Each structure stands twice: as structure tokens, then as C-alpha cells.
Amino acid sequence: MTDGELQDICNYLIVVAREAGNVIRHAQPTSLTPTSKKNTADIVTQTDQAVEILIRSRLTERYPAFDFVGEESYKVGLEITDQPTFIVDPIDGTSNFVHGFPAVCVSIGLVVGKQPTVGVVFNPFQEELWSAVRGQGAFIQQFDGSIRKLPLVSAPSDGLRSACIGIEWGSDREGPNFELNLKVFTMLARTTTTGGAFVNSLRCTGSAAIAICRVAAGQQDAFWECGCWAWDVAAAWCILSEAGGIMVDGHPGNWNPPIDNRRYLAVRPATEGQKEFVEEFWWVIGDARSTYGPAP
């Protein structure tokens, strides 16, 4: 696809994301009864399902030859191929949505050859729209209509010590994945005199897509999570890359993880120091591992 064709796709995804966002904004989430997928920390509402149906119908009508992967319609064993594929999270931040907390977004990504190629992330409650097309930069349009190129904030120079790190607890509240989170969060927060990294701050947004967009903007220095899915990161990954940030494995060692890796460390745009930052973060993880990984 040409740059012009990709930009046309991005423009249409923005239209669809805004339409979906309008549905979300008027859904009165606190009046809905959510259901659980895995446990009470992993929930879905009727609005999630309705919004995915809306997005899927719009995209398949316009681009019938493209594949579609959505959170609510995903079936175990479904593979992301090299074909152009829309990867969609209709509501990223469902728990926030149910609680009326405004860190909620529509996430629509296009991957081609399994590479993030177009990304649109829209928070309808705060009127923040992030978008990117491969090779054309990343942008945010805010509530006043202004459009700004990412990143918005220049990078600090002190590595983890001065960093604001995005994290998520996820839905695992026991077992090895929970224990890994406990270890990493504790190591990030502890003072250097007690063996920790003593970061400036930790942030739990409740939406991986929004958190990665914050990293792309330079408003957070990194985001780490093991256990999220391709639909949580596909759109924001494109935005991060086009802003000058990098995505690496949430486990040490892999600098080029696949889109369905399920373990991600996003690092902010910077002219230098990204490699050193990643290695410092991987040192915090050490030999500990989650059970998550790409499909075999």
C-alpha cells in the first residue's frame, strides 16, 4: 500500500473511532451490569460487544479483503497472519468504564506483515485522539481541536532513577504472574540502598493503549506489562514507533518482539539512552518470568 492509501485508511479509522467513542460516551456505564471473563478483575460489558460489532461492520464493509481481530470476538487459536489485519479493542479500560473513571479508549490498529502500520487511539471522555501512519509521524488532537506532533515532552537523562513508569496489575492475582508483578513493582519502588531502582513514580492507568500513547508523548518514560494482548497494543505501538519510541520484550533479551508477544516494554522517544534504559529495566526483572508469551 502507498503512503496515500495508508493515510486514507488512518483518516477513516479516525471517523470510525469517533463514532464508536460517541456510543461509549453516551452508554452510562455505571448503570450496566458487567460480566466476568476470567475473574472479577477481568470484565466485559454489553457496550464492549456492541462497539466491536459497530467497528467491525464499518471496517469490513469498506475493506472486505482485510482480516479482522477483535477482543470480544477472538477465539483461541486464531492467528495473526501477514495479511493486512485490523486489530481492535472496542473499549480498552473496561474496568475504568464501569467505574466512570475517564481513562477509556477505542483502539484500532492496522498491521501489515504483522508490523504495526496504522494506529488510532481515541479517549472519548477526555477528547484525546492519538494517530500515526508508518513513516509519517505520530500526532495527538486534543479537546480544543489543536493537533500536535509527538513527543510533547523532551526526555530526561537519568535513566530509571528519574523515570515515571506505567504499570498494570492485570487480572492474575495469584501464581507466578502475580508474583512477577510484585517483584518488579517492589524493585522499581525500593531505594537503591535496599537494592531497588528507586524510580520517580509508578502510574497505573487501567488502559495499556492510553499508557503507551502517554509514553509516545513523553508524558511517561516507559510502560511494562505481561499478559495484555495484541489488541491492547497494536494501535499504540504504531503511535509509539512513529514518535521515536521503541517496543521490546517484557522479558529480558528480545529487542524485536512479535505483535502477539503478550509481554511488552514500551520506552519513550529519545535521541540517546533507550538501549541503556531497557537494559536497566531488564536488570530489575532479572531471572523472574511470567507464563505469558506468543502462541507457539
Query: Residue 96: which domain range?
Result: 3-149
- 112 and 164 assigned to the same domain: no
- 134 and 18 assigned to the same domain: yes
* Number of CB atoms found within 10 A of residue 253's CB: 7
Report the CATH number at residue 191. Answer: 3.40.190.80
DSSP string, 48-107: HHHHHHHHHHHHHHH-TTSEEEETTT--TT----SS-EEEEEEEE-HHHHHHT-S--EEE
- 57 and 89 assigned to the same domain: yes
Distance CA 122, CA 19 (A): 10
- 25 and 112 assigned to the same domain: yes
Distance CA 23, CA 197 (A): 42
Q: Given the DSSP bridges, would you call strands 147-149 and 138-141 parallel, antiparallel or unpaired?
A: antiparallel
- 20 and 128 assigned to the same domain: yes
Per cent of the chain over pLDDT 90 is 86
Q: Which of 24, 91, 210, 285 is catalytic?
A: 91
**Quick check: is 232 catalytic?**
yes
**Residue 294 covered by a domain:** no
30 versus 119: the higher-pLDDT residue is 119
**Residue 240 covered by a domain:** yes
Q: Which of 94, 167, 172, 260 is catalytic?
A: 94
The SS3 of residue 208 is helix
**Residue 295 covered by a domain:** no
Paired strand residues for 225: 264
**Quick check: is 33 catalytic?**
no
Domain edge (last residue) among 130, 149, 168: 149
**Residue 262 covered by a domain:** yes
Per the structure, the count of domains in the chain is 2
**Quick check: is 92 catalytic?**
yes
Distance CA 96, CA 175 (A): 25
Q: Which of 48, 52, 72, 92 is catalytic?
A: 92
Domain edge (last residue) among 149, 178, 200: 149
pLDDT given for residue 45 in this prediction: 82
* pLDDT, tens digit, 9 for 90 and up, residues 42-80: 456 889 999 999 999 999 999 999 999 999 899 888 899
